[in-house]
Amino acid sequence: SLLKAWVEAVVSTQSTGSGTRFYFVVRTLPAMISSVSLVDTNFSSTHILIGEITTLVSSFTSGEELPQKVTESCNKPIQSLLDLQRTIEFLPHRDITLLEPLEYLQPFLDVVKSDETSGPVTAVALSSLQKFVQCGLLGPSSVNSLKGIRSIVGAVARCRFRATNRDTDQVVLYQILRVLLSSLACPVGHLLSNKLVYEMVQTCFKMSIQKHLSVLLRKAAEMTLIEMIQCIFSSFNGSVDFNQTNDSLLAGISVPTSTPSQPRCDRLSRTNSFDETPGTVGDNVVSLRLPSLDAIESDVHKESNTFENVTDPLLQADHQYETQLELQSDHQLETTQQLEEETGEMVEACGKTNPHEKVKERKREHEEEKRVHTGSGTTCSRPSNDVEENLQPFSTLGLNRLLIFFAGLLHDNRKTDSVKYLGLTVINTVLEIQRRRLIDNTRLYDFVKDDLLKTLLQAFCELKLDNSVLSLLLRVLFNIFVTFMHDLKFQLSTFLIYCMKHLNDTEKVSLEQKEMILRNILQYLKEPSFALNLFLNYDCDINADDFFGDLIDFFYKNACYSGHVLNMEESSIVNMSLEGFSIILQLFCNRLKLPCGPPIPEFDVEKLKQGRQLKTILQVASEYFKEKPQLAFEYLQEKKLLPSPLDHKSIALFLKNTPSLSKIAIGEFLGKPSSEEILAEYVKLFDLGGGRRFILCVRDYFESFRPVGESQIIERYIEVFVKHFLTVNETLAGSSVDDIFTLIYSIIMLNVDLHSPNLVDRPKMTFQQYAKNLEGVNGGKDFDTEFLQDIYRTVVDDEIKIHSEHLRVSLTDNTWSHLFREAKNTNQVGVILADGALQHYDPLVFNAMWWKLDAALKNLFPMTKSQESLEKNLDCFQMSALVSSYYNLTQAFDHLISTLCDLSAITGTPIKRFGTLYGKNDRAHYATVTLFSIARKYGSHIRESWKNIMYCLLFLNAAGLMSSTDLLTWKDIFTFPNEDAQPPQQTQSSGFASWFTPSSWFAPREDEQLTEPQKKLEEITRNTIKQCRILDLINDSSHISIESLLCLVKVLVTLATPPDQEIGLHSGQLVGGGSGVLVEGVGGLESAIFSVKLLVEVLLLNKTRVTNIWEPVASYFRQLPVFLKNIEIVKFSYNVLTSFLMISHSLVSTNEIRPSLLVIFQSLTMIEFNSNSFYMIKVKKKLAVGIKTVFTSHLLQLIGEEWKILFSLIRWMTKDSHTLAEGLETLMEVVSPCAVEKAENGSNSGSWTFLNPQNFFMIMKLVSKIMTCNTQQGPPRTPQQQYTSLWTRDTDCKKLTDCLSSIILIVSKFSSDESYIVPEKEMVAKYLIPAFQCLVVLCVDPAQPSVTIVQRLLVNMEPVLLLPSSCVVLFNHVVISLVTEMLKISSNLINDKLDDKYLRCAQSFLCKTFLQFLSKLMESSEFVTLWQTVLQNFKSLYLKVSTKPELKEAVSEGLKNILMVMHTSSVQIPEDEQMKAGLTRKEFWELTWKQVDSFLPNLKEDFFDTMLKESQ
């Protein structure tokens, strides 16, 4: 298939009639065969040689009839070929290895060098030579193969042929290129000498730049040149030297003879290209000479300017011309000009501007190499041995000269852009393909780092290049810095200095050039570790510039100061600035997914932070120093970097060791008379001793600052220096201060005279003039001539100047050498790479750029026109959020959130028409969705920017796009009947009456009449807000970090505070700037209410970790009493109270929170409510309902002193009739048996029970206060008023009665409960009796006199009380007391019916209870006394009812029943037996009848009659 394609190409080109193209296609076949290894290496070399001889002889005899002269000239080459063929035939076995290579090559070489042969014949000879090389005829195994290759190269270089036609002749030139390339690529090609390699390169280079040649041939020459360079570098081994070369390859080589008349190939001196030159062969022969490279390029420059008007000489004289390649040699090195010529024009093109420096460098090279360089080539020989010179293989120095030549093309303004581009292409090819070899060869690598980079950077500094050349130059520099960055710290800094210089130049640098430079910088940034290594090695180095910071500043300035309208030219730079931020962020994000190794030992994170901080401080101090030095000193003292008080040495150290200080400012400060002592200390910091050269000491001193001012100031600089120099250096020991002063002054004047740009037109001072000016200065004598010559040469070669400042203007050889040497001395040549541990340092880098990044994105966001730019901007926000959250850079994250809040335009859109105006802003939609997306995803890292987010929510709420019901999951559970009722009309106040109308609290916004487009905009707005998923943001607060949650709570607390209240939690400043005062439409009470409800929602979602965020919440709710007292904010206060109750209900079970809740409840009960205020009544009612709901459901959690607080709350509730019911219900829950059962069941193991011997007295005290509070105090106005009930409802009294009943039932178990172990007597005396006494008071209430409850409870006591004495005590204190109290009340009652009711209750209660306890009472020793008391009460009852027959008979019957029961119980006891009461049965009854007869004299008789009847 390959051959088929080749045949088709041959047919196609032949049909077009283009001979040149046809030849090129035909000649590709041998190359293809060679490339696919189709040549049979076993085929006899003899057959190949004989075949080529036959072909070449045939070429002489074929074709048109030749002129007689030409025919005769052809006989000699033909005869030579035939002789060679006969010689081969007579060789043993026809083994051509027995011949020297030149023996069978020479006939072919003669044809090539003959000017009588035609182009086709020469082409055949060249083809044969190429085949010999490619087929291995001159391989490494062949004897003297190197000699043969050199002969071929020499002959091809002197190739001459008779012109036939343009196409055929250019085919010959193309074949020359192929032979040269094959010779260089053969196995022994790397042993060619410098001189021959230069000839080959120059031949290709010359052809590639000749405008007279066809484009195809020039391109072929150009490609061949590049292939040659690749071959040179790929086959070059820097370790090979002359002594190690294979002797078999070098044996027998004779020195090629050359006469002075022969032209030098490396000179390639051109007189009149393609024209007949004087001295050439005849009128029909045109000699094409390849002039030297300088001449070539000079003419090319001229030709490029006049090419359109020049007639190609090849078209004249019937297209007849002759091409000739000749060699010259020149071994004379007599003058400086000869030395420059010896180095070749390649060196001249490298851009050296100082001839003296060139001479010195070449001399140093001669000393190092100890070789002599003749012609443009370099041979490894000593001047005395020409053979060794020609035997030296291509050396490192040759490679250096090749590279410096191609780089130097950039500096010659005579060169065309295509020539410069070609030179850079060659260099770039070497860097891209052979970079490994550059590193392995130390000398070549050093050359690249020094001379080559200097040349390239000089061209970049001048920037006098075509855009295409500049683009390739930037690519070359990119390849160098990316490959060798670890060794190029100084060089990279120089490159970046010029990058920033060009980018910030608004006059000399075009926009296209800026774009190319900036695009190149973006390529650097795309390297995974470049930006971070740049930051670590420069921005964190106190002695280096902040290059990473400068790039970020450039991106930032272009984004922020590009104007509100971007044209096409500006937008490209701005877009690339945005892309720069995007690239850096993308690298950060990519590294988050990669494994991270240990930190680099040289880059300790903490030390880097300290270094950055120190560098920032010194930079600020340097700015202060420019304005006023004293400000800088005070600032440094404040930062503890300078002592207090100041001393001169510390100031001097600051001046010398602070790189960021302005050299002019240092000079101005040291030149002041007041700074003379500081100047003296400053001079002492320089190394002037140890016999150091005087001129170097002067240079170091005056290059550390810029002398400014009048001559007196300059004299002060010099005088102080001289005094110190003489004390530490004995070089000029015999000279006086004045002598050295004059000498230094002369050096300053000499430096100005030689190098001042203002004195360019004036003749420069010579050494003789300089020495004459110093005659007799050294104490009447002259200074040593060599000493003065050293000073003069040093100043001439190297201007005394501040090189670091001069570097930013231009890059000269002296500046480069000086700064490069200084970088080596200070170990600033290498870049420490942090590859593999980049994640450790990413936070430092991101911290250095985030605020400028946010500002740039914020400024560009509304100006982006394309969707792609908008998406890139939003992606930058997302990546920035990811990085800042990953490394927990909360300050950066807060600033990002605040930026997005501003871009969302929520807080900047008028509320009145929010829906329609916001709907038009599509940019705001993107920003809003991005804002809440980031907030939801990385909420744990939000801190102060919660305020910005909450402001947005307040705006949306105020605009009617979001209400509390959309975000809240809790509802008010503390409602009570008629809560929404309004006060009577006459008591309403315009200030607060309407607050209690629910419809007024959350009244919907009245929709205006909207048009259809406006409705669509409103719908767009609502859809955007829906996409934000704000509810998820609130719900996700349960998963955010404690720190973020605490900040959120603090923000909500701040926003939940009324505008006229301050609680001191926040300064009120928004993140990213802005006032903390709520804007119009959002700063009212509605916003505060919305905030407090959100606060409750957040707390309820975070119940399990509320203890960590409780303090600001507690501080807020401690202000609730203050809110409640303010009548102007009743609506807000009421909502806050509800919120507090909701929080309390949820959190009261938390042991850490409950104490503070109880304290707040206590503070609320201490408010002095106005009882006549409708508002206060509602508030008290709400609070009472809340207390009851909160604590009745969490009684099990109360412990210790918390009970006291609860009882105080119940006490507060029972003081007011409006809250009495809630208080009693709460108390009932406290003492209810079911609650005790819960405790006894172990649901709250280890906690206090609700009613026990310890808290019984608190409860009873509370009950007593409740009863006292609800009974009228003061003297009665009427007899019955003292006992008139003040209970507002019967249910309240019943509740308290039920409560006491429960207490009595619980207390009655104290003696039987093992956990209490209370004796029965103590239980009755300390617990039961007080409880019953309180109950007795309620039972005798005139509104509802009822002793049934007491009686029922006493019945329950009978099985509990085991001791008769206990029954006696209980009966005395309860029953007797109750009856006595009822009799007392009856005597004061006016109402007969009520009186009868009281007396009947008393008689019934006394009878029943006595009979109930009679059996146990009779066993008591105190029964007689008790019995007498009972009879006395019956007597009192009887006397009160003496006028009421029905009641009188009831009393008599009741007593009779008691006596009958007692008689029955005691009938078994003998009359003479003593009872437990201390009396005999007879004595007891005698005493009883005696008392009964006192008020019922007939009862005894009736009693016994009844008893007799019953017995009968």
The average pLDDT across 1326-1331 equals 84
3-state class of 273 per DSSP?
coil
Residue 301 has pLDDT above 60, yes or no: no
Residue 1003 has pLDDT above 80, yes or no: no
| Six-digit token string for 1446 | 């029905």
**964 vs 1094, residue with greater confidence:** 1094
Reported as a pLDDT band with limits 50, 70 and 90, residue 1344 is low
Q: So what's the pLDDT on residue 832?
A: 84
Q: How far is CA 276 from CA 314, 324, 873, in A?
A: 11, 12, 67
Sign (positive/negative) of CA torsion 1366, 1372, 1376, 1380?
negative
Q: How far is CA 1369 from CA 1058, 1322, 1340, 1365, 1372, in A?
A: 62, 11, 21, 6, 5
Q: So what's the pLDDT on residue 900?
A: 94
Reported as a pLDDT band with limits 50, 70 and 90, residue 1447 is confident
Lowest mean pLDDT among 345-354, 1169-1178, 1420-1429: 345-354
Residues forming beta bridges with residue 1480, ordered by sequence position:
1474
Lowest mean pLDDT among 242-256, 416-430, 1436-1450: 242-256
The pairing of beta strand 160-161 with beta strand 287-288: unpaired
CB count in 10 Å sphere of residue 748 = 17
Nearest to 296 by CA among 215, 202, 228: 202
Residue 829 has pLDDT above 60, yes or no: yes
Q: So what's the pLDDT on residue 246?
A: 40
**16 vs 136, residue with greater confidence:** 136
The average pLDDT across 94-102 equals 79
Q: So what's the pLDDT on residue 650?
A: 93
Q: How far is CA 1238 from CA 844, 1206, 1414, 1501, in A?
A: 60, 19, 37, 58
Question: What are the pLDDT digits (tens) for 943-997?
Answer: 999 999 999 999 898 888 887 777 788 888 888 887 877 766 544 443 444 444 4
Q: For the chain, what percent of residues have pLDDT higher than 90?
A: 22
Reported as a pLDDT band with limits 50, 70 and 90, residue 782 is confident
Reported as a pLDDT band with limits 50, 70 and 90, residue 1371 is confident
The rounded distance, in Å, linking the Cα atoms of 991 and 217 is 101
Question: What are the pLDDT digits (tens) for 687-717?
Answer: 888 778 888 899 889 888 888 878 888 888 8
| Six-digit token string for 1355 | 């019945």
Mean pLDDT of the chain: 77
How is the chain split among helix, strand and coil, in percent rounded to 5?
A: 65, 0, 30
Lowest mean pLDDT among 430-444, 898-912, 1133-1147: 430-444
Give the angle subtended at the CA of 1257 by the CAs of 1251 and 1260, to the nearest 5°: 85
Residue 727 has pLDDT above 70, yes or no: yes
Q: So what's the pLDDT on residue 1475?
A: 64
The average pLDDT across 389-402 equals 71
Q: Contact 1114/1156 with Cβ under 8 angstroms? A: yes
Reported as a pLDDT band with limits 50, 70 and 90, residue 118 is confident
Question: What are the pLDDT digits (tens) for 368-388?
Answer: 433 333 333 333 333 333 444
Residue 1278 has pLDDT above 70, yes or no: no
The rounded distance, in Å, linking the Cα atoms of 186 and 747 is 59
Angle between helices 850-860 and 867-886 (to 10 degrees): 160
Highest mean pLDDT among 135-149, 202-216, 542-556, 744-758: 542-556
**1385 vs 859, residue with greater confidence:** 859
Reported as a pLDDT band with limits 50, 70 and 90, residue 849 is very high
**175 vs 967, residue with greater confidence:** 175
Reported as a pLDDT band with limits 50, 70 and 90, residue 1386 is confident
The pairing of beta strand 322-324 with beta strand 160-161: antiparallel
Reported as a pLDDT band with limits 50, 70 and 90, residue 280 is very low
**587 vs 235, residue with greater confidence:** 587
Highest mean pLDDT among 1075-1084, 1094-1103, 1166-1175: 1094-1103
Residue 284 has pLDDT above 80, yes or no: no
Whether a cis peptide bond, with omega within 30° of 0, leads into 187 is: no
Q: So what's the pLDDT on residue 1060?
A: 62
Question: What are the pLDDT digits (tens) for 558-576?
Answer: 888 654 444 444 578 888 9
Residue 341 has pLDDT above 70, yes or no: no
Residue 351 has pLDDT above 50, yes or no: no
- What is this structure's pTM? 0.76
Residue 743 has pLDDT above 50, yes or no: yes
**94 vs 6, residue with greater confidence:** 94
3-state class of 288 per DSSP?
strand
Highest mean pLDDT among 363-372, 393-402, 1011-1020: 1011-1020
Q: So what's the pLDDT on residue 344?
A: 37
Reported as a pLDDT band with limits 50, 70 and 90, residue 309 is very low
Nearest to 896 by CA among 929, 829, 942, 860: 942
The rounded distance, in Å, linking the Cα atoms of 1382 and 1260 is 23
The average pLDDT across 1215-1239 equals 73
The rounded distance, in Å, linking the Cα atoms of 838 and 603 is 11
The rounded distance, in Å, linking the Cα atoms of 36 and 875 is 52
Residue 329 has pLDDT above 70, yes or no: no
Lowest mean pLDDT among 172-186, 270-284, 1427-1441, 1453-1467: 270-284
**423 vs 365, residue with greater confidence:** 423
Residue 225 has pLDDT above 50, yes or no: yes
Q: So what's the pLDDT on residue 1077?
A: 38
The average pLDDT across 1429-1451 equals 83
Q: So what's the pLDDT on residue 1346?
A: 67
Q: Contact 1226/1195 with Cβ under 8 angstroms? A: no
Nearby residues of 1430 by Cβ (< 8 Å), 6 or more positions away: 1376, 1406, 1410, 1458
3-state SS, 992-1030, equals CHHHHCHHHHCCCCCCCCCCHHHHHHHHHHHHHHHHHCH
Q: Contact 147/253 with Cβ under 8 angstroms? A: yes
Q: So what's the pLDDT on residue 1390?
A: 60
**1229 vs 638, residue with greater confidence:** 638
**1456 vs 1315, residue with greater confidence:** 1456
The average pLDDT across 1276-1282 equals 37
The average pLDDT across 1441-1446 equals 79
